[in-house]
Amino acid sequence: MRRFLVKEVHPCIHASAHLCVRRNDHAPRGNPQCRRELSFIMQVLIIGSGFVGRCLAVRLASEGHDATLASRHRPAGLAPELAWLGLDAADRDAFAAVLHRLRPDAIVLVHGPSDISLCEYSPDEAMCSHAVIARNACRLAPHAYKLLVSTDNVFDGRQESYAEDAPPLPANAYGRAKLAAEQVLSQCSGDFLIARTSLVYGWEEADRGWINFFALALRRLAAGDILEVPDALWNTPIFVEDAAAIYTRCIEQSVMGILHVAGPQRISRLDWARLLADEYELDASLIRPIAADASRYFCRPRNSCLSSHHLPALLSAWPNVQCRSPAQAAVHMKPLLHGHLPINKE
């Protein structure tokens, strides 16, 4: 027996050539702006229990869905209320056994390898992991909706920004591996969404070797350490809670096609670091510009920036889903980081 959730949905959500949002035509009509939609409580299997996957699991659970995280190792500090199972999703038989057990309505591919610099040193491993896991998901679960969290690194970054209809042309091994996974899904017969996502940021513990730029910058500056910042890298970063909320609505409404999921502002890493120093009253003189080419950022596109033909309309149709600028997210996070950072001292 399936259980239902009741959600507010805007009536003008529509299908287009690149993006398709399923309408629930049997839903009762509400006021002129919104109608209420009955939506299943979904069983969602999240392949990848890292920074993004875990935040998505929290959001899905908070919306009443059954989310299960899967990865090869149990992540340190995993909240006890989150369901997790051990799985190497590249292992076809093991993946099949998990699918047989869970019978998910939706599968989210949000696994590693995610370190762009490490992928450059191990391109075969990156290609194998991303393409093979996508192929396994398509072949083993043809009827499940699939959401692939892809990347702006499928573009070479010569342009300031890229919308959904721009032709991909990756300039690094990570981008080529993620594009290969996209192509697997595109040839898959079932329903899927390729959610190309820009740099995802938020607070995180340093348990995966490296941490996102927001957390790194605040940790370094708060500790009084030098923060080296690549001088010519631009991003459209998205706050992790906002990305998780957007993915959740996409899963509930089976949004299909290609969607660019990025923050509303194109910002350089230097300006972002200075913004954080200013907001959190930290010493901006610790911020040191360095040449991106001579740093661990050597293989990053100059512009890791996305725009979207579709996201603004979806956001305006989805109550309780927002997409904050770096300044808005910094303000939002400030009271939550008491105890983590020496900020707001009298």
Cβ 285 to ligand NAP shortest distance, Å = 28
Cβ 300 to ligand NAP shortest distance, Å = 11
Task: Return the number of the residue (21 or 45) whose C-beta is nearest ligand NAP.
Answer: 45
Sequence-ordered list of residues with C-beta below 8 angstroms from that of 253, at least 6 positions apart, any chain: 9, 13, 21, 22, 39
Q: 15: which DSSP letter?
A: B
- Contacts of 102-105 with C-beta under 8 Å, sequence gap 24+, read 102/43, 102/45, 102/68, 103/43, 104/43, 104/44, 104/45, 104/68, 104/141, 104/144, 105/40, 105/42, 105/43, 105/44, 105/144, 105/145
Cβ 213 to ligand NAP shortest distance, Å = 9
- Which residue is at the shortest CB distance from ligand NAP? 50
Task: Return the number of the residue (29 or 73) whose C-beta is nearest ligand NAP.
Answer: 73
Q: Contact residues for ligand NAP (CB under 6 A)?
A: 47-53, 70-73, 75, 87-90, 110-112, 114, 129, 149, 151, 178, 197, 199-200, 208
Task: Return the number of the residue (262 or 314) whose C-beta is nearest ligand NAP.
Answer: 262
CB burial string 58-85: b at 16+ within 10 A, e below: bbbbebebbbbbbbeeebeeeeeebebe
Task: Return the number of the residue (9 or 149) whose C-beta is nearest ligand NAP.
Answer: 149
State the Cα–Cα distance between residues 196 and 308, nearest whole angstrom. Answer: 10
Task: Return the number of the residue (7 or 260) whose C-beta is nearest ligand NAP.
Answer: 260
Cβ 150 to ligand NAP shortest distance, Å = 6
Task: Return the number of the residue (199 or 277) whose C-beta is nearest ligand NAP.
Answer: 199
* Three-class SS state of 6: strand
Cβ 217 to ligand NAP shortest distance, Å = 14
State the Cα–Cα distance between residues 15 and 36, nearest whole angstrom. Answer: 19
State the Cα–Cα distance between residues 89 and 108, nearest whole angstrom. Answer: 12
**Preceding omega of 142 cis (within 30 degrees of 0):** no
Task: Return the number of the residue (71 or 248) whose C-beta is nearest ligand NAP.
Answer: 71
Cβ 170 to ligand NAP shortest distance, Å = 12
Task: Return the number of the residue (239 or 318) whose C-beta is nearest ligand NAP.
Answer: 239
Between strands 19-20 and 256-261, the pairing is: antiparallel
Beta bridge partners of 6: 38
Under 8 Å between Cβ of 70 and 109 = no
Cβ 30 to ligand NAP shortest distance, Å = 35
Cβ 178 to ligand NAP shortest distance, Å = 6
Helical residues (DSSP H) of 33-170, grouped into ranges: 51-62, 92-102, 116-121, 123-140
Q: 298: which DSSP letter?
A: T
Cβ 122 to ligand NAP shortest distance, Å = 12
Helices 269-279, 326-333: axis angle to 10 degrees equals 30
Task: Return the number of the residue (9 or 157) whose C-beta is nearest ligand NAP.
Answer: 157
State the Cα–Cα distance between residues 208 and 50, nearest whole angstrom. Answer: 8
State the Cα–Cα distance between residues 330 and 224, nearest whole angstrom. Answer: 19
